[in-house]
Amino acid sequence: MREYINETEYGIKPYKTLTSKDIDSWGSGLWEDSWINIYTDKRLINKLFTEPILETCSKENPFALADFGCGDGMVMKTINESLKKDYQAKIYNIDKNPEGIEQMQKSQDFEIHPVLEDLLNLPKEPITESYINYGTARFAIPYFSQEEQPELLNIFYRCLTPGGTMIILHDGPQHKGEGKLYNHFFEEINNVFRSKSNNYYPSVEELVDNSKKIGYKINIAKELTEIQAWLSPRSYDSRFKLTKQQFTELKKIFKRGFDKKQLPFTIDCGAYRIKRPLTYCIISKPK
């Protein structure tokens, strides 16, 4: 029996099969007039993750990268393709779920070192203190509870070199007030899946507050409004195997949300939809 991070992950489609054929495909989003899948689109990964790294790394000096909560390793695979052989980069992909990590262990990709560990209990080896020049956390922080998230940011901080940078992307709105409503909405959704997860979507504001308390310098912190992404009962159905009853329950929750008019809901292509906000932050450990 495979172990999943929470029950809603059962029946999950691997990222490589996620498409952006239509608005109801999980992860689809409109970016620069094209429909993309925000998980798998390499141009987007390069724009958000690779470019900021290339702006500051050098070909002469070796450096270390780590993806915290890497899943199937899509982010570092894409970054590594862009770095090619021109850079002396050592890459670590860390996740507590063995599935992606075991695939990486079998692969012939010698630049990427898979690390099967729980981020909250990250051992001091192989990611030693002040070792990582660039860390990434894509769609990973919300997998931790509100109470755990400051500790998680602390662990990243411990791993970073002075001047080291974390690049973060996940679902979350700009402000705390809206964040509270979003979390309440996703709690209702989780209840449909009878999921015991205590996932928490931090707003940009909360992430910045937590990061500043630890000592991070904030370079970029914003809701990524240039990507328009939406969630609907059908998009949930495209990713998880919904029963008829779950689908009906989701439709009711979406309709209730729409009627309350507190969050950015809409009706499009015959379905209630909620705007999926994306938080993008680049924070660094001072030199």
Ligand X SMILES: C[S@@+](CC[C@H](N)C(=O)[O-])C[C@H]1O[C@@H](n2cnc3c(N)ncnc32)[C@H](O)[C@@H]1O
List contacts with ligand X (CB under 6 A): 5, 15, 39, 69-71, 74-75, 95-97, 118-120, 138-140, 143
Least distance in Å: CB of 161 to ligand X?
21
Let me know: does 90 contact 113? Beta carbons within 8 Å: yes
Let me know: does 230 contact 264? Beta carbons within 8 Å: no
Task: Give 33 or 125: the residue with its C-beta nearer to ligand X.
Answer: 125
Task: Give 23 or 70: the residue with its C-beta nearer to ligand X.
Answer: 70
Task: Give 4 or 35: the residue with its C-beta nearer to ligand X.
Answer: 4
Kindly state the DSSP code that residue 80 receives in the 8-state scheme: H
Task: Give 8 or 133: the residue with its C-beta nearer to ligand X.
Answer: 8
- Strand 265-268, strand 271-275: pairing: antiparallel
Amino acid at 184: H
Task: Give 18 or 253: the residue with its C-beta nearer to ligand X.
Answer: 18
Task: Give 143 or 254: the residue with its C-beta nearer to ligand X.
Answer: 143
Distance CA 246, CA 193 (A): 7
Residues in the chain: 287
Least distance in Å: CB of 92 to ligand X?
12
Cis-peptide into 126, omega within 30 deg = yes
Instruction: Name the closest residue to ligand X (Cβ).
Output: 71
Burial 204-243 (b: 16+ CB within 10 A, else e): bbbbbebbeeeebeeeebebbeebebbbbbbbbbbbbebe
Least distance in Å: CB of 82 to ligand X?
16
Least distance in Å: CB of 61 to ligand X?
26
Least distance in Å: CB of 139 to ligand X?
4
Distance CA 10, CA 222 (A): 32
Least distance in Å: CB of 222 to ligand X?
19
With CA atoms as reference, report the closest residue to 119 among 132, 103, 104: 132
